């Protein structure tokens, strides 16, 4: 069984898009998998990131399954620790671990998507980094391909390595239609050289994914599906 934690170099780095595509790719090659979003804010009428992932991954949600996949949901669109406090609650890492362990009993593969970056607080003492340590998972980093990504990505790699957390690799997520240029390729080379990590792939921009109600994986263009499956196969080696 292989499970992974998907983190990002920052908020809106592409974690949710990447997680949803990996879920779809796992299923496309015949593997049972479920997503988990341990802490989700901005939940009023729905659970935004989990709903997005389940749409792309074609995951049938039952109320019991949702409780495990998204065990800590809060209304305010802010950092998880603050959103919880506004509702008079506190996020317990042990509670999140219990949900994760329950998911592992249902399927052989679980992909866990973090919130923001590594140092986002979950409560007044613990961060997303502490949660990754508690879950004991190798981490996939979602990163932007453009200017600034070298610094952001290498800082993320550094803190993961300092915490003895295995880095499965980096994936670039394109959020606009700008074509790759010489800087993108050098960003890949430089991150590999300085970070000593794998570059797993690059997801091109796709307008169908740039929406709150994306289609299922099979309806996406072949270039997206092929690249996503390549990334999954690299992770499973």
3-class secondary-structure state, position 88: coil
Structural domain boundaries of the chain? 4-236
Confidence of residue 102 (pLDDT cuts 50, 70, 90): very high
77: left (phi over 0), alpha (psi -120 to 50) or beta: beta
- Backbone φ and ψ for 67, nearest 5 degrees, come out as -60, -30
User: Could you read off the pLDDT of 136-155 as tens digits, one per residue?
Assistant: 999 999 999 988 999 999 99
Q: Return the pLDDT at 179.
A: 60
Locate 218 and state its tokens.
Answer: 């099979």
Query: Which DSSP helix (H) or strand (E) runs through 5?
Result: strand 4-8
pLDDT at 112 over 90: yes
Cβ neighbours for 152, distance < 8 A, ≥ 6 positions apart? 9, 10, 143, 144
- Average pLDDT in the chain: 95
Pair 163, 131: CB distance under 8 Å: no
Active site residues: 37
Q: Return the pLDDT at 86.
A: 96
Confidence of residue 182 (pLDDT cuts 50, 70, 90): confident
Cβ neighbours for 122, distance < 8 A, ≥ 6 positions apart? 39, 80, 81, 91, 93, 128, 130, 131
Read off the pLDDT of each residue in 217-236 and give the average, rounded to a whole number.
Answer: 97
Q: Return the pLDDT at 195.
A: 96
User: Could you read off the pLDDT of 186-195 as tens digits, one per residue?
Assistant: 999 999 999 9
pLDDT at 176 over 90: no
Read off the pLDDT of each residue in 62-87 and give the average, rounded to a whole number.
Answer: 96
Query: β-pairing, 33-36 with 4-8?
Result: unpaired
Q: Return the pLDDT at 75.
A: 94
pLDDT at 177 over 70: no
Confidence of residue 221 (pLDDT cuts 50, 70, 90): very high
Read off the pLDDT of each residue in 121-137 and give the average, rounded to a whole number.
Answer: 98
What percentage of the chain exceeds 90 in pLDDT?
89
* Degrees to nearest 5, angle at CA 203 with 202 and 209: 165
pLDDT at 167 over 80: yes
Pair 197, 191: CB distance under 8 Å: yes
Q: Return the pLDDT at 194.
A: 97
CATH classification for the domain delimited by 4-236, as one of 1.10.150.20, 3.30.465.10, 3.40.50.300, 3.65.10.10: 3.40.50.300
Confidence of residue 122 (pLDDT cuts 50, 70, 90): very high
Read off the pLDDT of each residue in 210-226 and give the average, rounded to a whole number.
Answer: 96
Of 164, 50, 64, which is closest to residue 111 (Cα–Cα)? 50
Q: Return the pLDDT at 113.
A: 98
Locate 68 and state its tokens.
Answer: 């495990």
pLDDT at 178 over 80: no
């Amino acid at each position: 069984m292989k499970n992974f934690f998907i983190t990002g170099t920052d908020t809106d780095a592409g974690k949710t898009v990447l997680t949803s595509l990996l879920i779809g790719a796992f299923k496309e090659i015949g593997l049972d998998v479920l997503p988990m979003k341990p802490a989700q804010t901005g939940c009023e009428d729905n659970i935004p990131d989990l709903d997005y992932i389940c749409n792309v991954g074609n995951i049938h949600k039952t109320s019991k399954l949702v409780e495990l996949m998204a065990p800590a949901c809060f209304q305010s669109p802010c950092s998880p620790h603050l959103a919880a406090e506004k509702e008079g609650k506190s996020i317990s890492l042990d509670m999140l671990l219990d949900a994760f362990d329950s998911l592992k009993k249902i399927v052989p593969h679980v992909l866990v998507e973090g919130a923001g970056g590594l140092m986002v607080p979950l409560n007044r003492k613990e961060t997303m980094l502490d949660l990754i340590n508690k879950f004991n998972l190798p981490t996939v980093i979602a990163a932007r391909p453009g200017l600034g990504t070298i610094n952001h990505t290498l800082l993320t790699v550094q803190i993961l390595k300092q915490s003895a957390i295995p880095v499965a690799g980096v994936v670039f997520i394109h959020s606009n239609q700008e074509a790759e240029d010489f800087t993108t390729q050098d960003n890949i080379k430089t991150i590999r050289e300085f970070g000593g990590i794998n570059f797993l792939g690059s997801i091109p921009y796709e307008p169908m994914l740039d929406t709150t109600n994306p289609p299922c994986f099979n309806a996406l263009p072949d270039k997206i599906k092929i690249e996503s499956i390549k990334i999954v196969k690299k992770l499973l080696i």
